[in-house]
Amino acid sequence: MRRFSSYRVAAIAGVAASAMLLTACGSDSNSTTTPGTSGSAGSSSSGAAGGSGLKIGLAYDIGGRGDKSFNDSAALGLDNAKKKYNLPDSDVKELEAAQGEAEADKEARLTQLADNGFTTIIAVGFAYADAVKAVVAKYPNVKFAIIDDNSVQAPNLADLTFAEEQGSYLVGVIAALKSTKHSVGFIGGVNVALIQKFQAGFDAGAKAADPSVKLTDKYLTQPPDFGGFNDPTKGETAANGIYDAGADVIFAAAGGSGSGVFKAAKAKGALAIGTDSDQYQSAADDVKDVVISSMLKRVDVAVEKFIDSVKDGSFKAGNTVFDLKAGGVDFATSGGKIDDIKAKVDDFKSKIIDGTITVPTK
Amino acid sequence: MSTATATVTGPDAAPRRRGSRLSPPLLIAFALGAFLVLSAVRAFTGGNDLTSSGTIAAGLSAAVPIGLAGLGGLWSERAGVVNIGLEGMMILGTWGCAYLGWDHGAWAGLLFGTLLGALGGLVHAVATVTFGVDHIISGVAINIIAPGLALYLTKVTFVHYPGGGQKQSPPIGDAGSITLPFSDWLHTVEDKHWFAVSDLAGVLGGLVTRLSLVTLLAALVVLASAWILWRTAFGLRLRSCGEAPHAAESLGVNVYKYKYIAVIVSGALAGLGGAALAIAAHQFRDGQTGGRGFIGLAALIFGNWRPGALAAGAGLFGYTDAIQLRSSSAVHPLLLLMAIALALVAIWQWRTGQRAIAVVAVVIAVLAVLWYIDTDRVPDELVGTTPYVVTILVLALASQRLRMPKADGRVYRRGEET
């Protein structure tokens, strides 16, 4: 018995040590990311570049380029800007976050970018809030932007946020109109304020389109466990539960876990709605037809506009909200599954834009 | 099974006998009783998801990666090598599965994932058996190296393929599943919500509807492991290396060889678990194992280093995780179920003289009942902890007689008995 407990102590120590070391290791394993392949369009003419004065550093959230969602959207904005200003690869640097990394790793990533001479730095994701706060004052000549956060204010920091509730409201309308059982579900990746905003908009939109609709919600993990954005099997299990309980449309605001929701929808003969990017385009071929729409969060628009503002000197510190009006959020129509109700949804959209409808954020 | 064990673990037979193991009829009676309690709670609370076929199916598929990782730990630790590197070997398995799986099909992926896991096991074996590195340190090293390696390989291999990315693979195809012909009928019965009958239909329906062939394979691997380790001369020798390696050595067993085999099989099983996870998720994603290797290790301890109980532990974890994911409201009736189970534990512990534990169990049971009566649902923030809470309660209150292999975790050197 005594040796058994010493074994347990050793095991626990090992687990703890591994967790700490894993995070430590995570940061440097990611520090060598080269700009992705989709930037090749810009680099083909990169010989003629230079003199633009832009040196852009981008720090991704967990998932990085290739997450088929949030980060990819930021990458698209970067690629567009790169093409527009003819930037050579050496003037753009992208770094990724690792699963379960420490706060210090995020800080180190931003510091590394600033120290390497990148003067336009974009932190993708609210997870960077504390890191930005710690770093922003040390580099007054660097223009920072943080996506999805408005908690830090500085003269050289732009807080770029989105009116996710407005886009979610519209897909809520779509879900309710497409539900034959008058029951729709919401799956959030992690139970944080940002994702709750999605749910608030979605619920309001569904209720507006069909007052009798039944709403069900589920968050895959609770902070500080952010694995809910990255676990398709959890998404699938939760979606099956909600479909079994009678819903026939689910809005998946769960990052990479969304593919599990689509898989469940396919197996149940039900429907699903994606998030951030147009997931009809990126979903696996065999589940494409269940993705009737996506809540588009145009991180690419925000990133590109921010780079524009640095370039032309119109940089504005503080909060900028990218809403429906500004083209920061929208709904996707690819696949043609919502052509029959598009007019109704557009009607709601114009009412939100002209202020007739105010969408709740909580 | 029990007789075979007694012959091997001679020196430990005395303390073992005190914890009289459950005989098969008693085990069946116990399972039946647990099932009836579950049905009663389901019928009383209306928490139909407790025994729905969807929950059982989801629980089963959640249990597979955990159980396989735990089984990997069983092989290794039965030969005396602690394998805390299961998580890392699992990650190698997920990546390996995606590498061949996305264009050659799931089964090719499964094979390659298993192979990569075995490679991870080989590294652990070389470090611990040949070089005598502390088992924990070697395992931790593997847990650090594996995710980095998988991430690097992902960037090298998957980025240019459709659906692939810096941190994910292209989609992996399906491994196939079977649905027995009477499953529709079971679903009809299940939907009636009759006491016990519908519950049974739900459980059976969950087992025979779209049952993944990978799950079936996992069940066979558990049975095969139990048979090999407890019913063959090979298994006897392997376990003797975990109990008394120097005694085994004096009888002519090549301890190094058995330890090597055990640790490599251990890695292969963890890799298989990872591959099963990747197939269930239809792709490799960085960080997708989410600590399942460690939970597998917990299932191993939970199962007292035995395959059947280990599988039960993995199943319990998978089941509670499936319930909390499928419907937050179904966790509320679980409180009542927990209270009843704890009350039974309290009675049993009181009778065996463990009065302090009995009192603790009763106190927690009363609190659970009060909580149940006083609320309509468990707060979302706590729902996700359900599987962990249940596991801790079982470990702390019901399994007091755990016994690990006697020489587990010790570095063995031929001819150097201390």
Nearest to A14 among B136, B163, B165 (CB): B136
| Residue B285 φ/ψ, nearest 5 degrees | -130, 140
Intervals of CATH 3.40.50.2300 along chain A: 2-162, 165-297+332-353
Residue A131 scores a pLDDT above 80:
yes
Tens of pLDDT, residue by residue over A192-207, are 888 999 999 999 999 9
Q: How far apart are CA A262 and CA A288, in angstroms?
A: 8
Q: How far apart are CA B396 and CA A110, in angstroms?
A: 45
Q: How far apart are CA B329 and CA B55, in angstroms?
A: 13
pLDDT over 90 for what percent of chain B? 48
Would residue A84 be called left, alpha or beta, if left means φ above 0 and alpha means ψ between -120 and 50 degrees?
alpha
Nearest CA among B213, B310, B218 for reference residue B271: B218
- Beta-carbon separation of A68 and B288 below 8 A: no
pLDDT band for B43, please (50, 70, 90 cuts).
Answer: confident
What residues in B contact A233, CB-CB < 8 Å? 61-62, 277, 280-281, 288
Residue B16 scores a pLDDT above 70:
no
Tell me, yes or no, if B183 comes closer than 8 A to chain A by beta carbon.
no
Residues A75 and A65: beta-carbon distance below 8 Å = yes
pLDDT over 70 for what percent of chain B? 94
What residues in B contact A263, CB-CB < 8 Å? 282
Domain A2-162 CATH (choose: 3.20.20.70, 3.90.1150.10, 3.40.50.2300, 3.40.50.11540): 3.40.50.2300
Q: Name A205's Cβ contacts closer than 8 Å, sequence gap at least 6.
A: A168, A169, A170, A171, A172, A173, A175, A176, A348, A359
Residues A153 and A167: beta-carbon distance below 8 Å = no
Nearest CA among B182, B202, B206, B181 for reference residue B191: B202
Q: How far apart are CA B83 and CA B86, in angstroms?
A: 6
Which pLDDT belongs to residue A346? Answer: 95
Residue B217: CA count within 13 A, CB half-sphere? 17
User: Distances from the Cα of A234 to the Cαs of A188, A194, A256, B96, in angstroms?
Assistant: 11, 20, 11, 21
Q: Search chain A and give the residue with CA nearest B288.
A: A231
Q: Name A94's Cβ contacts closer than 8 Å, sequence gap at least 6.
A: A33, A34, A35, A36, A57, A58, A59, A60, A65, A75, A78
Q: How far is CA A207 from the centre of its chain?
A: 25
Nearest to A64 among B136, B137, B166 (CB): B166
What residues in B contact A36, CB-CB < 8 Å? 159, 166
Looking at the DSSP assignment, which residues form a beta bridge with residue A320? Answer: A160
Tens of pLDDT, residue by residue over B122-162, are 999 999 999 999 999 999 999 999 999 998 898 888 878 87
Tell me B172's DSSP state. P
For residue A351, the SS3 value is: helix
Nearest to A237 among B140, B151, B322 (CB): B322
Tell me A242's DSSP state. H
Which pLDDT belongs to residue A99? Answer: 67
- Beta-carbon separation of B282 and A232 below 8 A: yes
Query: How do B211-212 and B177-178 pair as beta strands?
Result: antiparallel
Residue A294 scores a pLDDT above 90:
yes
Which pLDDT belongs to residue A292? Answer: 94
Query: How do A271-276 and A249-253 pair as beta strands?
Result: parallel
Q: How far apart are CA A241 and CA A238, in angstroms?
A: 5
Token representation of residue B134: 């502390």
Nearest CA among A199, A161, A177 for reference residue A329: A161
Tell me, yes or no, if B399 comes closer than 8 A to chain A by beta carbon.
no
- Beta-carbon separation of A15 and B402 below 8 A: no
- Beta-carbon separation of B167 and A96 below 8 A: yes
What residues in A contact B280, CB-CB < 8 Å? 233, 236
Chain A interface disruption, residue of B97, B135, B167, B406, most A CBs within 10 A: B167
Q: How far apart are CA B84 and CA B74, in angstroms?
A: 11
Q: How far apart are CA B78 and CA B404, in angstroms?
A: 8
Q: Provide DSSP, B246-284.
A: HHHHHTT--HHHHHHHHHHHHHHHHHHHHHHHHHHHTS-
Which pLDDT belongs to residue B21? Answer: 60
Q: How far apart are CA B237 and CA B255, in angstroms?
A: 8
Nearest CA among B318, B398, B387 for reference residue B70: B318
- Beta-carbon separation of B87 and A64 below 8 A: no
pLDDT band for B418, please (50, 70, 90 cuts).
Answer: low
Chain A interface disruption, residue of B56, B135, B166, most A CBs within 10 A: B166
pLDDT band for B181, please (50, 70, 90 cuts).
Answer: confident
Nearest to B287 among A13, A230, A284 (CB): A230
Helices (H) and strands (E) in chain B, counts: 19, 2
Scan for tokens 């691997």, then name that residue. B221
Q: How many CB atoms lie within 10 A of CB A197?
A: 23
Looking at the DSSP assignment, which residues form a beta bridge with residue A221? Answer: A190
Nearest to A11 among B84, B281, B283 (CB): B84
Which pLDDT belongs to residue B15? Answer: 42
Chain B interface disruption, residue of A244, A250, A262, most B CBs within 10 A: A244
What residues in B contact A219, CB-CB < 8 Å? 380
Instruction: Return the higher-pLDDT residue of A10 and B175.
Output: B175
Nearest to B143 among A8, A18, A66 (CB): A18
Tell me, yes or no, if B308 comes closer than 8 A to chain A by beta carbon.
no
Residues A63 and A71: beta-carbon distance below 8 Å = yes
Nearest to A241 among B148, B325, B380 (CB): B325
Tens of pLDDT, residue by residue over A140-164, are 999 999 998 899 999 999 999 999 9
Instruction: Return the higher-pLDDT residue of B394 and B204.
Output: B204
Q: Search chain A and give the residue with CA nearest B381.
A: A222
Question: Closest Cα of chain B to A64: distance in Å?
Answer: 7
CATH class of A165-297+332-353: alpha beta
Residues A306 and A57: beta-carbon distance below 8 Å = no
Q: Name B400's Cβ contacts closer than 8 Å, sequence gap at least 6.
A: B354, B357
Which pLDDT belongs to residue A22? Answer: 42
- Sign of CA pseudo-dihedral A359, A318, A160, A193: negative
Tally C-beta pairs within 8 A across A and B.
157
Tell me B401's DSSP state. -
Lowest mean pLDDT among B22-31, B175-184, B229-238: B22-31
Tens of pLDDT, residue by residue over B379-413, are 878 888 888 888 788 878 776 678 889 999 888 88
Residues A359 and A201: beta-carbon distance below 8 Å = yes
Q: How far is CA A317 from the centre of its chain?
A: 22
Which pLDDT belongs to residue A52? Answer: 61
Report H helices in A35-128: 40-43, 70-84, 103-115
CATH architecture label of B51-326 = Orthogonal Bundle (1.10)
Token representation of residue A106: 């995020």
Report H helices in A179-295: 193-209, 232-244, 258-268, 279-282
User: Distances from the Cα of A51 to the Cαs of A86, A91, A270, in angstroms?
Assistant: 10, 11, 53
Looking at the DSSP assignment, which residues form a beta bridge with residue A250? Answer: A185, A272
Which pLDDT belongs to residue A180? Answer: 94
Lowest mean pLDDT among A14-23, A106-115, A225-234, A239-248: A14-23
SS3 content of chain B, % helix, strand, coil (to 5): 75, 0, 25
Which pLDDT belongs to residue B45? Answer: 83
Query: How do A249-253 and A183-190 pair as beta strands?
Result: parallel
Domain boundaries, chain B: 21-49+328-402, 51-326
Nearest CA among B246, B257, B179, B261 for reference residue B212: B179
Lowest mean pLDDT among B67-71, B249-253, B352-356: B352-356
- Beta-carbon separation of A232 and B285 below 8 A: yes
Lowest mean pLDDT among A89-103, A323-337, B348-362: A89-103
User: Distances from the Cα of A229 to the Cαs of A191, A226, B182, B347, in angstroms?
Assistant: 10, 6, 37, 43
Tell me, yes or no, if B325 comes closer than 8 A to chain A by beta carbon.
yes
Q: How far apart are CA B38 and CA B319, in angstroms?
A: 13
Q: In whole numbers, what is the pLDDT of chain A averaged over residues?
A: 84
Which pLDDT belongs to residue A265? Answer: 95
pLDDT band for B266, please (50, 70, 90 cuts).
Answer: very high
Residue A48 scores a pLDDT above 50:
no
Residues B296 and B73: beta-carbon distance below 8 Å = yes
Q: In whole numbers, what is the pLDDT of chain B averaged over residues?
A: 88
Residue B269 buriedness (CB in 10 A; 0-12 / 13-18 / 19+): buried
pLDDT band for A77, please (50, 70, 90 cuts).
Answer: very high
pLDDT band for A184, please (50, 70, 90 cuts).
Answer: very high
Scan for tokens 């007694």, then name that residue. B6
What's the start-to-end Cα distance of chain B, in Å?
A: 32
Q: Search chain B and give the residue with CA nearest A240.
A: B326
Q: Search chain A and give the residue with CA nearest B382.
A: A222
Q: How far apart are CA B410 and CA B243, in angstroms?
A: 10
Lowest mean pLDDT among A7-11, A103-107, B357-361, B387-391: A7-11
Scan for tokens 């593997």, then name that residue. B142
Residue B238 scores a pLDDT above 50:
yes
